Chains A and B, each alone.
Chain A
Amino acid sequence: MIVPSSVATTGPWAASAMIAAIILTSTAGEVLTAKAMKSIGDLDDIRAQSGMKGAIRAVVTCPLFFAGVSFLALGFFSLLFALNHLNLSLVAPASASLTLVTNAVAAKFFLHENVDRRRWTAAVLVCVGVYFLAH
């Protein structure tokens, strides 16, 4: 990972570890949340049958959902922690773009999604695009 000299106070290993922590926790959060929503079923159907309250009840009574949200919260706090030590222009694009690729890998192995060549290409293109746009 390329670390600019402006982050001289924090070494490249510490910077990489902080960004890796954001990526790992938020990927775990996304995958667990996606798994929870798949286990609940089509929310539009649930809302059509038992109303908005029924849909909210279906989500908040799912333990996997809370596991997912806890990891997303951990990801958010590790982002705040990293922002305390590193530049926003390094942390925001690096974490936002790399999570797209780690999510594609995690979705393939843990959610058994059909990540074909089309989706790999898209993940890599969007990853580079987000980095360029946010940098």
Chain B
Amino acid sequence: MAHHTLTLRQYSILGLVALCAPLGDTCLSRGMTQLPPITLAHPLTLIAAVFTPWIGAGIALLIGFFASYLTALSWADLTFVLPATAIGNVIVALLSRFWLHEPISPQRWAGIALITVGVSFVANGPSYTEPPVHVSSAALVDAAEEEQVR
């Protein structure tokens, strides 16, 4: 059961990880800025904030992010999943450029380019490091499978 190449289903879970986090954060930020300032003197207003539509949607998206993030970590390396999540920031920046027509500074374009190149670097490599105990047997199975393919 070596997941060196990902299935379509696993790619869609990585896509959910990448998209849910920045979209959830955006919803929370939009919801919180619409509210009057919240002080520690009235902490109950925070509980009421949870039930406003934007903040509710943000929390739902972040729960979706955490569930798909945990699923991804169960079959892929941390050093594979973490850079992949960064592509979500690029998607949100591009969405805000072409959908909301917000300007993007040259520095942010450079950031978008660097993240995209970095993510394509990891995405082209293996997604999972075999545990050392199973390395020899897994390598043997892989080699045998490769032989069969040839």
Give A residues with C-beta under 8 Å from B.
30-31, 33-34, 37-38, 40-45, 59, 100, 103-104, 107-108, 111-116, 118-119, 121-126, 128-135
Instruction: Give 4 closest A-B pairs by Cβ, nearest first.
Output: A132-B111, A129-B114, A125-B118, A133-B111
Q: Within 8 Å CB of A114, what residues of B?
A: 77, 126, 129
Complex CA–CA separation, A107 to B70 (angstroms): 16
Q: Determine whether the beta carbon of B86 is less than 8 Å from that of A126.
A: yes
How many B residues touch A, CB cutoff 8 Å? Answer: 40
**Sample (13) of A-B pairs whose CB atoms are under 8 Å apart:** A100-B82, A107-B79, A108-B79, A113-B79, A113-B129, A114-B77, A119-B83, A119-B125, A122-B83, A122-B119, A123-B83, A130-B111, A134-B111
Complex CA–CA separation, A122 to B78 (angstroms): 13
Complex CA–CA separation, A40 to B74 (angstroms): 7
In whole Å, how far is B32's beta carbon from the nearest beta carbon of chain A? 13
Contact A133 B90, CB 8 Å, known A118-B125, A122-B118:
yes
- CB-CB nearest in chain A for B132: A112
B73, CB-defined interface residue at 8 Å: yes
Contact A132 B79, CB 8 Å, known A34-B73, A126-B86:
no
Give B residues with C-beta under 8 Å from A.
1, 3, 9-10, 70-71, 73-75, 77-83, 86, 89-90, 93, 107-108, 110-119, 121-122, 124-126, 129, 131-132
- CB-CB nearest in chain A for B71: A43
Tell me the dominant secondary structure on chain A's binding face.
Answer: helix
Q: Determine whether the beta carbon of B108 is less than 8 Å from that of A118.
A: no
